[in-house]
Structure 1
């Protein structure tokens, strides 16, 4: 299940420094200002600004200006994907499981609708005393089989997503700590 992550030269340059990796790890917790990062890293604000500029140029960090004088830095989707590649797999698996659950629900609705239509038709025939032409109630089991397969697939995808979530690595964060 190894997924390829394409990195350009700017990204390699940004990831070449342990300090920049520590900044990414810190921003993974929440968005922060240069002052906050400076205190955490015990580095000069100008140094932190240079590192953030390289990370921003690589597309790993974005600047977020708030309404007041503070400027926050946060991870971009590229930065999050680089730090947590398993999140994309989990989202895909959960989306597939939800689609299977919806398919299961529609299959069972088809069974209930089919039964209801046949039941009301039989009831109408009894009321009209046309019992000789009373059809036998027949339920099509194909939607039941489809619903069961959808439910089985939903269960498989859901538990696979939970397994990936529990076995997730720390990506680049594993190498930093």
Structure 2
């Protein structure tokens, strides 16, 4: 697991309960200052000041593609909130590698068939079903890995 080095700005930013609540609120989805103020029951100016401190510590970033600024967690902010989440992608991709290998072997065994006495070839349909199921599991695991990766990559400012 990659270590997170915290400097004085990070510790200052994390020392406020309000700023920690803002980080936790932004963990669910990007939000505007108004949405954060309503959710936390604070004034917009107060939330804006706390967001400035978090942004200077590189824990949040804003995307102003629309009329309103959406604030979101940076990768550093996500790693502070979820330090073990980076290993999930590795586990999912490793499992998908095993599933795709087993699925390919099952489908290949079905296509080759089994030689029986008399020289005929028998194909067991159960191998085809198992291979297709394992390949389907692989696709689902790749989808989950992409979703985890999207959650851990920051939105550019």
CA RMSD, Structure 1 to Structure 2 (Å): 3.0
Q: TM-score, normalised by structure 2?
A: 0.62
For the residue of structure 2 that corresponds to 1:67, the secondary structure is: coil
Alignment-derived partner of residue 60 in structure 1: 59
Structure 1's unaligned 5+ residue stretches are: 124-136, 138-150, 159-177
Give 1:12-31 correspondences, 5 Å limit: 12-31=11-30
* Partner Cα separation in structure 2 for residue 16 and residue 86 of structure 1: 22
User: Given the alignment, which residue of 109, 112, 121 partners 1:111?
Assistant: 109
Alignment-derived partner of residue 90 in structure 2: 92
Matched-pair contact (CA < 8 Å) for 2:37–2:47: yes
Q: CA deviation at 1:80?
A: 2.1
* Partner Cα separation in structure 2 for residue 19 and residue 31 of structure 1: 17
Q: CA deviation at 1:83?
A: 1.4
Give 1:130-149 correspondences, 5 Å limit: none
Alignment-derived partner of residue 36 in structure 1: 35
Q: TM-score, normalised by structure 1?
A: 0.56
